[in-house]
Chains A and B, each alone.
Chain A
Amino acid sequence: MTATVTPMVSVEGLVKVRSQSESVFELHVPRFTVLPGQMVAVVGESGCGKSTLLDILALVMVPTRVALFRIDPGGGPAWDVAALWEREDEGALARLRRDSFGYVLQTGGLLPFLSVRGNICLPGRLKGAEISAGRLEALSRRLGIEGCLERMPLSLSIGQRQRVAILRALAHRPRLLLADEPTAAVDKTRARTIMEDMRHLAVDEGVAVVVVTHDLDLVMDRADLAYTFETEQIGGQTTRSVCRPLAEASP
């Protein structure tokens, strides 16, 4: 990590307050940075706010307060996401999402009414850059799903679906890949290979990755940087969770 590289994602002083009936949950992110090409792991138990953080990073959840929230996809001006939220410029947020982001959901999040190929090609079409047959061929072979392209997602195994989801998230050459527990639904062995494949692909494509998981072991030796959460109960109803880099976190 060198200071001269412009971070792709810089977040400072982010607070998200969510309240559900009586209970209040506060997520504090004092500082969160992703450098280009970096793999960042966000590790924590369920309910610590890691999905909330990912949704905020994915631009589908508005932060309650944020001091700095910049995204610099490279090859153009950086986006002041805080300002976009301020303006409620959902169009620009959606555009940033489809041009620069890839997203892998816990259970793949494939559209069941499109074939595997249709799913993979959709982000490219939205971006206005059709994914070439050669690239699709090469990537699918690399993920071992070259035989499933014409099948419907429902006919695939969970592992295959996750691989398709990874391919869909990467095929349109995004700058940032957001993965939400991408291997939670498969067994440990398969989880490792999937995570490995994702990591390699991201490195090869030069894509920064933020991966959220509860399984520290799965990412420990692969991530460049890891964040975790300190959760404490303040008062009867309020839970506060602070996200810090793993090294700083108290054991």
Chain B
Amino acid sequence: MNLELKSREYRRKILKYILKAKAGHTGGSLSCIDILNVLYNEVLNVSPANADAFDRDRYIQSKGHCVEALYVVLADKGFFPESDLETLCQYQSHYIGHPTRKIKGVEQNTGALGHGLPISAGVALAAKMDDLSYRVFTLLGDGELPEGSNWEAALSAAHYKLDNLCAIVDLNGLQITAPTTEVCNTEPLDKKFESFGWAVRHVDGHDIQALRDVFADLPFEKDKPSAIIAHTVKGKGVSFMENELKWHHGVPTEAQYKVAMEELENP
């Protein structure tokens, strides 16, 4: 299956399990799913077979609330049976609303914001210290960028020349209260990262080929950590969810679900 079709399938599954759980971060999962699709299917050297290998690439999802996107990709990659996701957020399920290491394939427990980048910097530094070639990818939400710990880690990542570290910002422009520019403006984001010593690229976070190309260029500069600012649409793929604040963690009704699935079947 080509990755464009896979993205549509992933989106349908995200909605399916959010509907079943009656909970989930719909808009953000739909905005980051194309990024995860390309990462897991073409970039990362991780699979269920090497999930514990010391030289595997690491993906650490800082925006942990969009765990539904991660779950459907990990299931597709065979880390666990997809039927497990029927238990999402159910009593006694390991499949909670944020990533945990109880789930095979999940590298770190996340959910509180501003944690992914410091941990990723530590993992990337370990690779440098041990002279290993693995890479570390972390996905940040644009809404979590005001967390100061991100910028503490951004300083250290540049200081230690972690060019094996890639931070991807899922820049969908909306957070729970309002557009990110209204809540706490982080623009110009590229200049901020650059001034912290990072090499920065912009990409259309829904263009599979553009994502492939930008990942293929890593590291953007030797001795610098790389930041990818992925311009995305919150709720991408479902017309009535796109750029709508209420779908941050909105759960569709059965009727809305049918319309959404139809759109994703026949875009």
Do A and B actually bind? no
